[in-house]
Chains A and B, each alone.
Chain A
Amino acid sequence: MVQTIIEAEGLSKRYGETQALAGIDLSVPAGTILGVLGPNGAGKSTAVRILTTLARPTGGWARVAGHDVVTEAGEVRRRIGVTAQDATLDEALSGRQNLRMIAELSGLRRADGASRATELLDRFELAHAADRPVRGYSGGMRRRLDLAASLVANPPVLFLDEPTTGLDPTSRARMWEVIRELVERGTTLLLTTQYLEEADALADRIVVIDHGRIIANGAPSELKAAVGGTRLEVTLTGPHDGAVGALAPLVAGLVDVSSDGRQLRAAVPAGSGVATAVIRALDAVGAVVDDVAVHPPSLDDVFFALTGADSPAAGRQAAGAGPVAPPRLPSQASGTGPAATPDAVPAAHSDHLHGAL
């Protein structure tokens, strides 16, 4: 039987008038990664703070490694490693001093703490900066040191709150490698992220949180299947008034138009010849096409299908009534994610055309 390492029921947290967490249930089996996905302020960090004993829930309960986070907080703390969203490293201390301090506070003997620190500094490629104050570290170095700090006592359960936010693609790819390796060793991991590709790449299961509630829960593939359909993305040379109308007969549901009027996105029925039909229809109304992509739904699409009602409607047109999908998250729009991303589209699934037509 697989042990459940993190479990929660009806977990909620109210700060005065604000309901930060409105009753979430979690169940994370040993040796797996749960990705907690959501926009800023969705309640991800609140959930992590409760599960790591830093905050008390105002409702519901949670157990980590078999211990209640409120009544057995000390037991929980012995078994977890935490990397907070803002690296809580000691700026004035060197990387080595930080790790040794955490090691000793975690109960390791002094000599063991020293050798553990050296081992982790090597492991995270920080040996060259080991004795310099953290103040001078780069963002990537801080994150690595922060992760190293949470691993000092070799905890069976790890909480990583947005471990790659603000990292450049190379640093992010390295972080992903480390995370995968940890799980191979049997560590159970809860990871929050705003990056859909990250949850997709790393997590065994994903919960999507918005406004303190879980709005979706499943394996990445299940979530994508739930959205259904195939996604169409068109880039025009310039905005065109007839474009949305020309696409309407070809798409299922709404056409989402970017604020500059050049990007159009929609769900299309799966089938052959979609790209050709799209180009012909747009050509017929005189819209000049720079790029057409047809691909299976990504987690972006899942996310927007679930939370689209929140999107700013300004500058958008819809082919039908109802909510309009918001723009893509900057993380993906920038296209600089690591190459390991499974939903970095092209590959065999997509029907991708380039060039002026």
Chain B
Amino acid sequence: MSQLAPPLGAPVSPADSFGGPARVAPGSRALRDVIVLTRRNLVHVAREPLQLSDVLIQPVLFTLLFVYVIGGGVSVAGGSYKEFAVAGLLTLNLTTAAIGTAVGITTDLKTGAIDRFRALPIWRAAVLVGRSLSDLLAAALCMTMVVLTGLAIGWRPHASVLEFVAALAIPLLFAYALSWATACLGLVSDGPESAQGIGLVILFPVAFVSNAMVPTAGMPAFVRAIAEWNPVSAVTAATRDLLGNPNPSALSDAWPMQHPVAAALLWSVAILAVAAPLAVRLYRRRTTD
């Protein structure tokens, strides 16, 4: 093959720190690494759209199931179940879809992709940050699907543009924080399957023991206490308030239900503050042998 080939490049001196073409300034390297790795994850999604079933199909399915099958038996003070359900469906779908981060990271560990990245001079946390950002985009897609399905079946927000944007930003921030938490789970699990299995066992109760799909008033006292302090409830209540949809939790005395926006933000920031540094540490440990 040598005869038809252009040269491989100028000979390199081993003492030369940077052989080859000019390189970007080191200051912007971390950001560049994150962008490159985020884009790489998005190409994966584009190539395997089935990966998106939990953010494309599940939201539609859940919305229809809850509104038309389960909702008929639930009465909501101050409005219809449909009006009540959509904010809950946003939080519910985003919460369960957060497991995607754990699955993505364990898959990359398993296939050796992370080994390849590690032998490159990149910012170490870029792999995690890139994953969290591509999953944030997936979460935004998930949210769009819920909103569109909701609109299609007759749900309406009663909010200003600003309130509407805030109503979507709050669950999105929560989803971002959760994806760092599931990253931690992925980094301590054996593989994609076990990460998914364990993750859903944890996330399903978290998603459902909340005000997301049914009002907490009908729950036994101790379950209600858990539900009212559940971050999922705070996020859902905040979203309902901002969307101008019925929010029966406002009648509760629990602090997070009285201050849902503050509680949702505090919870998200707290989860992020704990999970992100922990994930970086776990990643470091997992990839050092």
Binding site for B on A (CB under 8 A): 3, 5, 15, 30, 49, 52-56, 65-66, 74-75, 77-80, 82, 84, 86, 88-93, 97, 101-102, 104-109, 112, 116, 119, 122-125, 133, 149, 151, 153-157, 174, 177-178, 181-182, 185-188
Contacts and interface: CB of A to CB of B under 8 A. Distances in A.
A66 B111 contact: no
A124 B17 CA distance: 26
A56 B16 contact: no
Contacts of B16: 156
A119 B6 contact: yes
26 contacts: A54-B119, A55-B289, A56-B288, A56-B289, A65-B14, A77-B119, A79-B19, A84-B115, A88-B111, A91-B111, A92-B44, A93-B40, A104-B36, A105-B36, A105-B117, A105-B120, A106-B23, A108-B22, A108-B24, A109-B24, A122-B5, A154-B12, A177-B2, A185-B11, A186-B11, A187-B12
Contacts of A112: 21-22
A138 B139 CA distance: 36
B145 to A, nearest CB: 23
Given A88-B111, A88-B113, A181 B2 contact: yes
Interface in B87-135: 111-113, 115-122
B19 A3 contact: no
Interface in B44-60: 44, 47-48
* Majority DSSP secondary structure for residues of B touching A: loop
A337 B278 CA distance: 51
B6 A123 contact: yes
Q: In this complex, which of A92, A107, A149, A188 has the most chain B Cβ atoms within 10 angstroms of its Cβ? A: A107
B156 interface: no
A5 B14 contact: yes
Interface in B228-245: none
B43 interface: yes
B203 to A, nearest CB: 26
B40 A52 contact: no
A97 B39 CA distance: 10
Nearest to A185: B11
B15 interface: yes
Nearest to B32: A104
B111 A188 contact: no
Nearest to B116: A88
A106 B120 contact: yes
A181 B29 CA distance: 32
B43 A97 contact: yes
Contacts of A156: 12-14, 16, 19
B1 to A, nearest CB: 6
B115 A88 contact: yes
Nearest to A149: B116
Nearest to B20: A154
Contacts of B21: 108-109, 112, 116, 154
Contacts of B11: 185-186
Question: Lowest 6 CB-CB distances: which A-B pairs, in order?
Answer: A154-B20, A88-B112, A107-B23, A88-B116, A112-B21, A156-B14
A178 B111 contact: no
Nearest to B29: A107
A92 B121 contact: no
Given A105-B117, A181-B8, 8 more contacts: A54-B118, A75-B17, A92-B48, A104-B36, A107-B24, A153-B20, A154-B20, A185-B8
B279 to A, nearest CB: 20
A102 B120 CA distance: 8
B33 interface: yes
Contacts of B23: 106-109
B121 A186 contact: no
B9 interface: yes
Nearest to B16: A156
Contacts of B32: 104
A53 B119 contact: yes
B18 interface: yes
A20 B117 CA distance: 24
A241 to B, nearest CB: 51
Nearest to B119: A82
